[in-house]
Structure 1
Amino acid sequence: MAGPPWSRAKRVSAAAGPAPALSPHRAILSARTSRPSAFRASQHSPAQQSSRPPAGSDAENFAAYFGESALRRFDRDAAAQPGAEHVIVLLGVNDLGHPGTVAPESERVSAQDIIDAHRQIIARAHERGLTVYGGTILPFKNDTLGFYSPGNGAARQTVNHWIRTSGAYDGVIDFDKALRDPADPQRLLARYDGGDHLHPNDAGAEAMADAIPLHLLR
């Protein structure tokens, strides 16, 4: 999802996912990846917060396979990128969909867990002088990977409502609105569907790029 459509914006750093082979001043947007262990830090006092899962736990084993949490990777993948001025955060779908499918059920998180983790990322971005924008989570009803359930759909909507209305982010990029099916807002619009009803295709990626108000990045 970091192909040519993203090149229209500059000095944007990633909140998740490996950086693509672009100049650090080019757009590097978050893939739809965060990892189920990303949001455990929000459950502890500031002195205890750590995004590393407990040693020997199911979460640690899962993280070793799928990669480190967004909270743990934020400095490396976003704040430390040379010339970064803006961060676009698109996180949460895997944290909803992985537990009970490819991750241990013990990794189940609530909408509030995800919101609390977003608040941590916002605080860390602001501490480093970065402007940070929240991206709404794309719909995934009837996906082929088993992510969707009525509960996960409701949690996605709760998180998206918070992103849109809380004022916690410096701005909002409504990817959900840009790609959802008006006839069934819990689903991707067919022309943007990559085939698994979860990941957008190239047209969807371009629609996401078009959803970014460029004045936010100037």
Structure 2
Amino acid sequence: MTTISPPENGFMRKVPQGSKEDDIFYMYGSTAAHIKEETEYVRTIRATLEKIQSQLFKDDLYNKSSQEKDSHTKQNGYSNEDAESFSSRYKRIVEKLKDQDLQILDVHRDNEDLQIKLEATREAGASAIRDATRKLYENYNKKSEQARKCHEEEKQILQVSAEEHQDRLMKSIEKLNDVADKIQEKHSRILELEKLMERMEAVSDIGVIIKELPDAYLR
């Protein structure tokens, strides 16, 4: 609960026990809740003073003679000087309360302006956040699309390169197989010739050997 201390220099002061919202709207030593309490405080003082005035300054006191007035005031424990002094103090208090009312109204207006500015600031901040989020999302989508296209292009290039490399490899394998077949064929011929030479060394009849030669070697 907010505690109100007596006025100082025409301004109410509040013991710092308010909420965070009161701290935000704290202005000229007052908050929105504080100002309401100050207004109630001023109204209470004014009502009390009006009651005192109605008791001390009734119409019949002004219509009676000065002697009756003196007698009446003495019976109630007041003299003319006391009444005049109290009346003077009362007028000063009333003027001070009027000034206080004007100050409170000014603070009300200032707090209303601050509330409007704060709401505008919040809305502007929320709008800025939404715009920033939208831009970030758009940039992300744009970069993501660019990365996807780049990836697709690189994938196609690699795929074409892999197919070309595979074709070259298959052709190279075919050539190697052809070479291997030719080498195997030559190796077989060499083995046959070696066997033939061995038989020529073992057999002295050259005619028989010639007959046994394959046609391919006689050509």
Q: What band does the TM-score fall into relative to the shorter chain? A: under 0.3
- Which structure features the higher share of strand residues? 1
Structure number with higher relative contact order (C-alpha < 8 Å, ≥ 6 residues apart)? 1
Q: TM-score, normalised by structure 1?
A: 0.21
Q: TM-score, normalised by structure 2?
A: 0.21
Computing the radius of gyration over CA atoms, which structure comes out larger, 1 or 2?
2
